[in-house]
Amino acid sequence: MSQTIWTLSVIFLALILATLVFFIASKTQPNKDFSTIQLRVKTWWGMFVIFCFATLFNPAVSLLSLMVLCYFSLREYFSMMKTRKSDRRLFLWSYLMIPLQFYWIYIGWYGMFIVFIPIYVFLFLPLPRIIGKGTIGFLRSVSFTQWGLMLMVFGLSHLAYYQIASPEFGSNLVLFLVLLTQLNDVIQYLVSLYFGKRRVAPSANPNITWEGFMVALFVTTGISYVLYPYLTPFDLKFGILSGVIISIAGYFGSLTIAVLKRDLLIGNSEKQAVLKDSHLSRIDSLTYTSPVFFHIIRYFFDFM
């Protein structure tokens, strides 16, 4: 417990420092767009509070908070889609899947947790759209809905299962994962903003560059090397490898969500501006890093 308190205290001081630094930077460099960074800092504060409750008090608070996060993320994803009245029933059933997915986590039923959305929901969710609603736009609405559930619910819900799978190390592993994911995003963004030249997907997100990816990969790996003895039970080899895994998975997560948003919002600049400060902009990388890191740990270590 003392080690956890020490770690949370260091993170608290780092958050205060980050808030001040980016506030001053936004005032002294008005020509630079720091909105993405400021969103990340706000997200860090929210997650910090969640982790305080999860590690020091009751894990159920973390479970409930992450369930709410999945709901808002999925709702924002649906708000980007061009929908018909016939899609509303499909969306309603999708929202109902969220508490069910988290119920499997709460009771520790790993088998159902891991197959519920990819198999059962995938196969049976189209039925409400088919019955009495015709076939016009069927494939687009169903496939977009299923893809949203996979990312915003299935992917993010892994954050809640760490603590159930490993009560001893789960909280610190989530803290380790979120810290590296968010730091990787910020480093990638800052390097791309100041030094990036070769853009990966300029039509989707001009702030994702190869220079940002490479620098973030090395820095995140270095931070992983520093943090792993305090937050994980890993050895040196996997402590370093964790940074590589999280950096690469986070990069693909950011890129995928950016392309998805671009595809869904083509020709709708007004909604693009509204959703710029959305939950999706804050947790895009976690939709990939959470499940990838979880399953790699579960495969190689017995404590999961």
Which of 7-16, 144-153, 181-190, 233-242 has the lowest average pLDDT? 7-16
Instruction: Decide: residue 135, CB within 10 A, 0-12 exposed, 13-18 middle, 19+ buried.
Output: exposed
Helix, strand or coil, per DSSP, at residue 209: strand
Which of 2-6, 156-160, 162-166, 238-242 has the lowest average pLDDT? 2-6
Mean pLDDT of 225-250: 93
pTM, rounded to two decimals = 0.84
Most confident of 90-99, 135-144, 261-270: 90-99
DSSP state of 278: S
pLDDT at residue 270 greater than cutoff 80: no
Band (241; pLDDT cuts 50, 70, 90): very high
Mean pLDDT of 167-171: 84
Mean pLDDT of 182-192: 85
Note the pLDDT of residue 1: 53
CB-CB contact of 238 with 211 (8 Å): no
d(CA 235, CA 68): 34
Can you give the residue range of the structural domain that contains 261?
2-300
Most confident of 24-33, 102-111, 187-196, 279-288: 102-111
Mean pLDDT of 274-283: 58
Q: What's the domain count of the chain?
A: 1
Note the pLDDT of residue 279: 56
